[in-house]
């Protein structure tokens, strides 16, 4: 693996501290029976720097051992069992010679199939109306999809699950339950006419994202963010990557 010249992210408050430069994704999403986590996580998961104490097995810098590679072998405990549905976490860590711990981790979500997938297959490439930014929606199972860019702009990808159920009338019915986000809180896609001030559970029941068959297939939503993944949480302001006022429209390509 090729390692960049810049190997850490400095802390402005303390120039002798460097947060690990991480090479693995912040989260991984799989369908049940499709998990390939050990292959997907790179051999070098991160690089850490400590210019005060250094690391056993480190190299370079003031101490002669400032920099260390954190690898798959530095996993804490065992690799998780991903045969079932649900969320897991994986942690890797090293200790400096001063016995300070450097820990990084990632989250893993395993999704199962749904009994009532909607009639329209929505996987594919979509272009956001207004800025022409392309996003990808990937199929996990019929009616179960992964989307890693909720707002349609150039940010670090973070995966979420998007569902398309069949309604009682046989039509498509999108659903995006409140899910953990890259900021440690929760994110949710809500309908384009939703107003702030309600709970995540209320939005899920009354204001799902919009799907129009077209052509082209068109998706519309707002991105609401919360301080937690509790269904009673209220979205009143943008707390993470995306603002909560804009209606985001995506057309299938």
pLDDT digits (tens, 9 = 90+) for 43-84: 999 998 888 888 998 988 888 988 899 999 999 999 999 999
What φ, ψ does residue 91 adopt, rounded to 5°?
-125, 140
Residues in the chain: 253
What is the mean predicted confidence (pLDDT) over 170-179?
95
Mean pLDDT over residues 187-204, rounded? 93
CA distance 189 to 223: 5
Q: What is the dihedral of CA 126, 128, 132, 137, to 10 degrees?
A: -30
* Cross-sheet strand order for the sheet of 14-22: 8-11, 14-22, 44-50, 67-71
Average pLDDT over residues 176-196: 91
Is the distance from CB of 223 to CB of 194 less than 8 angstroms? no
Q: Is the pLDDT of residue 34 over 80?
A: yes
Closest C-alpha to 76, from 108, 99, 103: 103
> Can you list the domains of the chain with their CATH numbers?
10-110 (2.60.40), 113-252 (2.40.128)
pLDDT digits (tens, 9 = 90+) for 118-130: 999 999 999 999 9
pLDDT of 25 higher than 90: no
d(CA 90, CA 76): 8
Beta-strand ranges (E) seen in the chain are 8-11, 14-22, 27-31, 44-50, 67-71, 86-95, 101-111, 124-128, 134-141, 144-147, 160-166, 172-175, 179-180, 186-190, 210-212, 218-226, 248-252
User: What is the pTM assigned to this prediction?
Assistant: 0.80
């Amino acid at each position: 693996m090729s390692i960049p010249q810049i190997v850490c992210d400095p802390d402005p408050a303390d120039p002798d501290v460097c947060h690990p430069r991480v090479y693995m994704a912040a989260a991984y999403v799989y369908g049940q029976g499709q998990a390939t986590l050990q292959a997907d996580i790179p051999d070098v998961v991160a690089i850490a720097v400590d210019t005060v104490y250094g690391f056993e097995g480190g190299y370079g810098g003031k101490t002669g051992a400032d920099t260390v590679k954190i690898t798959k072998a530095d996993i804490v405990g065992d690799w998780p069992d991903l045969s079932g549905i649900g969320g897991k976490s994986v942690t890797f860590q090293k200790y400096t010679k001063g016995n300070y711990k450097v820990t990084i981790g990632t989250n893993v979500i395993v999704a199962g199939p749904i009994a009532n997938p909607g009639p329209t297959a929505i996987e594919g490439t979509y272009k956001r109306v207004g800025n022409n930014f392309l996003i990808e929606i990937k199929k996990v199972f019929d009616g179960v999809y992964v989307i890693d860019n909720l707002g349609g702009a150039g940010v670090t990808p973070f995966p979420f699950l998007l569902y398309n159920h069949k309604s009682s009338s046989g039509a498509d019915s999108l659903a995006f339950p409140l899910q953990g986000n890259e900021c440690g809180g929760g994110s949710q896609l809500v309908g384009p006419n939703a107003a702030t001030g309600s709970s995540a559970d209320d939005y899920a029941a009354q204001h799902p994202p919009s799907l129009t068959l077209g052509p082209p297939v068109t998706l519309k939503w707002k991105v609401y963010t919360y301080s937690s993944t509790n269904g009673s949480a209220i979205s009143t302001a943008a707390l993470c990557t995306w603002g909560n006022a804009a209606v985001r429209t995506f057309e299938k390509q």
